[in-house]
Amino acid sequence: MKQEINGRESVLQDAGVLHYTPEDTEGSEMLHQKLAKIFEAEERNDWYEALLLYKQLYNSSHSHEVAIHFAFYCWYMLWQWDEIIFPCEILSFQERIASDTRCGISRLELMTILDQLTKQLLKDADEIPVIFLIVLVHMQRIYPYFFCNETFSDEQSEQLLKELEERPKGNLGAEILLAYQRNSEYRCTLFEEKSAIQKLFPQNSLMEQYFCWLFDCHI
């Protein structure tokens, strides 16, 4: 695992997978329009197009909102790597498992980008919405081996979770998602709970699709 971490750091430093200039910012309306185009690509399973659009938007905006959606995309792709079937390939399940690069998307690059985005989100933890941090904790607790231990260890995740439990959440959906981190058997039974989860993330976004699936909130 250490070699993988070093490999990721090397790719980040040598290839400059992501870069940004802080003074180059997107207007809020324009940013959400561009995010909506990415969500459309995700919804139609055009994963390579979504990756290219995320890189372009993050490099021009350095937005926390883009960062959490991009991080979730990387996490989701790593989780579903063996299951996703790209339209440009004909591979068996075993071949998909063994392949590190498929249709222009590299697992190493996904892990590298996830690491950099995680660093940004943790560095700015006091400045960003609580729900972004809850999602980050959720991703780490589900698949901790997708994260560099030096960046976001189990101990750091637990400490952040404790801090989040002390902070105001602002809405029922965030409360539900936070409760799930302590009790993975938690289920939404009331209409109000399901509705809160549905409204927690932008329509058609990968996060909306995932968390509605997780809590069976397609009502």
**What is the pLDDT at residue 92?**
73
Per-residue pLDDT averaged across 60-83, rounded? 94
The pLDDT value recorded for residue 82 is 85
Q: How far apart are CA 49 and CA 76, in angstroms?
A: 15
Give the pLDDT score at 9: 39
Nearest to 109 by CA among 168, 55, 33: 55
DSSP string over the chain: -HHHHHHHHHHHHHH--S---TT----HHHHHHHHHHHHHHHHTT-HHHHHHHHHHHHHHH--HHHHHHHHHHHHHHHHTTTT---TT----HHHHHH-SEETTEEHHHHHHHHHHHHHHHHHTTTTS-HHHHHHHHHHHHH-GGGS-TTTS-HHHHHHHHHHHHHS---SHHHHHHHHHHH-TT----SHHHHHHHHTTS-TT-HHHHHHHHHTT---
When pLDDT is cut at 50, 70 and 90, the band that residue 98 belongs to is low
| Number of domain units in the chain | 1
Q: Report if residue 206 sits inside a domain.
A: no
Q: Is residue 24's pLDDT more than 60? A: no
**Section 88-106 average pLDDT:** 76
Higher pLDDT, 22 or 86: 86
Q: For residue range 179-206, what is the model confidence (pLDDT) as tens digits?
A: 999 998 888 888 899 999 999 999 999 9
Q: How confident is the model at residue 85 (pLDDT cuts 50, 70, 90)?
A: confident
Residue 191 counted as domain residue: no
pTM for the structure as a whole:
0.85
Residue 205 lies inside a defined structural domain of this protein: no
184 and 157 in contact (C-beta within 8 Å)? no
User: Region 38-43: what's the mean pLDDT?
Assistant: 94
Q: Percent of the chain beyond pLDDT 70?
A: 86
Please report the pLDDT score of residue 103 as a whole number: 82
Q: Which two three-digit tokens encode residue 17?
A: 């997978």
Confidence of residue 134 (pLDDT cuts 50, 70, 90): very high
Determine, yes or no, domain membership for 213.
no
| C-alpha closest to that of 48 among 75, 31, 73 | 73
* Least confident residue range of 2-11, 34-43, 178-187, 206-215: 2-11
Q: Which residues span the domain enclosing 137?
A: 2-185
Is 208 contained in some domain? no
Q: Quick check: 219 pLDDT over 80?
A: no
Indicate whether 216 belongs to any domain. no
In a domain? residue 210: no
User: Is 197 domain-assigned?
Assistant: no
CB atoms within 10 A of CB 87: 10
Question: Mean pLDDT score of the chain, rounded to an integer?
Answer: 85
What is the mean pLDDT of the segment spanning 42-66?
94
Q: For residue 102, report the phi and psi dihedrals to the nearest 5 degrees.
A: -135, 125
